Amino acid sequence: MMTPAVPGRRPRYRRVMRAVFDALECLGVRYFVTASVAASVHGVLRQSQDTDIVLDIDASRFGELTEALGERCVVADPIDFGSFSVASIVEQATADKVDVILAPTGRFEASAMERRGLADVPGLGQVWVASVEDLLLAKLVWSAGTSELQLRDCAQLIRLNVATIDRSYLESWAERLGVRELLREIDR
Amino acid sequence: MMRDPGLALQEAIIAGMGIRARGEERLRLAARGKLLAWQQVDAMAPASELERAELLLRRLYPTLAERSLQQMLVQLAEAEAAGAWHGFQRPDPLSVR
């Protein structure tokens, strides 16, 4: 599903987002884009005003990112959710926002980081994006079995990517993440 | 889960758009959402750029944690006092299809 950047084309970058990706690359921090942007790469369109990025650094290194961004942004400190933290960055000029998910420590997140893929995303440029299987699994977890929209997205992701999806990986992690029944339900 | 035939058609159209067209459409939807938020904020006639910023951020990002919002507003107030920030740039309505 993912495609290489098209040489010669000039995508309309949203500045704060490109600045964040440039800063991450300068700092050598691995990341992947998830949620609505990743969904659009894999076939599902959802309106969203912000971009969610998973980083493999913990909150102690968040300052390096904000320092690299300089004074063009206002930043909310990471909020601790136990196994991960979430911080928000808003560009002073445009009010565009990026949410960064810091140091998810589980094996699933480590696996998702290994399986990310490069995609040329309008508004962002060439960025690392969550694989369809990892996006689907994350959405199943986020849904907590109750979010109709998340579950509908999951069903759609499976239908659209049925020819290429890694069933073995999906089912194995669904079991470990406790969402096997949800997966069966949407996959009927 | 019962499938809505209209939804199935919509899914097929969106899936057939390709990554680039879907990404452009996502940007267009976001731009329209931002423009609508600006219009709602303008209708409330905020008394200052900082108040406008708070109203705008609340509309654009309703799930943003209150403490995160307040922390950002403090930074915007400091930037405004230092002459480094004069409010968020208003989107051009003509640029949004």
Q: Nearest chain A Cα to B85, which residue?
A: A92
Comparing C-alpha atoms, which of A183, A117, A113 is closest to residue A151?
Answer: A183
The verdict on A22 and A78 lying in the same domain is: yes
Residue A31 contacts residue A53 (beta carbons within 8 Å)? yes
Q: Look at residues A148, A112, A2 and name the one whose alpha carbon lies nearest to residue B22.
A: A2
SS3 at position B26: helix
A6 within domain boundaries: no
Residues A63 and A106 in one domain: yes
Q: Domain holding A51: CATH number?
A: 3.30.460.10
For residue B85, what are the contacts with CB-CB under 8 A and spacing of at least 6? Answer: A92, B49, B76, B79
Domain boundary among the residues A106, A130, A154 is at A130
What does the domain layout of chain B look like in residue ranges? 5-95
Q: Which residue of A has its CA nearest to B19?
A: A41
Does residue A1 fall inside a structural domain?
A: no
What confidence score (pLDDT) does residue A19 get? 87
Give the torsion sign (CA, A70, A72, A77, A83): negative
Helix, strand, coil content of chain A in percent (nearest 5): 45, 20, 30
- Chain A hits for B53, CB-CB cut-off 8 Å, are 95
Residues A17 and A106 grouped into a single domain: yes
Q: What's the number of domains chain A is made of?
A: 2
Cβ neighbours for B69, distance < 8 A, ≥ 6 positions apart: A76, B54, B57, B58
CA–centroid distance for A102 within its chain:
12
Q: What's the average model confidence in pLDDT over B11-19? A: 86
Return d(Cα A109, Cα A115) in angstroms, integer.
10
Q: How high is the pLDDT of residue A71?
A: 86
Tell me whether A146 touches chain B (CB under 8 Å). Answer: no
Which range (A78-92, B42-56, B68-82) has the least confidence?
Answer: A78-92
pTM to 2 decimal places? 0.88
pLDDT score of A10:
39
**Least confident stretch, A103-112, B37-46, B55-64:** A103-112
CB–CB contact A47 B26 (8 Å):
yes
Whether A149 and A68 map to the same domain: the answer is no
pLDDT at A4: 40
Q: Do A14 and B25 touch (CB under 8 A)?
A: no
- Residue A16 and residue A66 in one domain: yes
Alpha-carbon torsion B35, B41, B44, B46, what sign?
Answer: negative
Report pLDDT for A164. 95
CA A136, CA A48: separation in Å to the nearest integer? 17
Give the DSSP H or E segment for A73.
strand A73-80
| CA-based nearest distance B52→chain A, Å | 11
- Are A67 and A52 found together in one domain? yes
Q: What is the pLDDT of residue B1?
A: 55
- This complex has an ipTM of 0.90
Do the chains contact at B24 and A186, CB–CB below 8 Å? Answer: no
pLDDT at residue number A33: 97
The verdict on A21 and A103 lying in the same domain is yes
Together in a domain, A16 and A107: yes
Range of the domain at A117: 11-130
Q: Is residue A3 part of a domain?
A: no
Same domain, A53 and A107: yes
Q: Point out the residues of chain A with pLDDT beneath 50.
A: 1, 3-13
Q: Is there a domain that residue A110 lies in?
A: yes
Both A121 and A148 in one domain: the answer is no
Q: Which of A48, A122, A151 sits opposite B23 (nearest CB)?
A: A122
A24/A116 same-domain check: yes
- A84 shares a domain with A38: yes
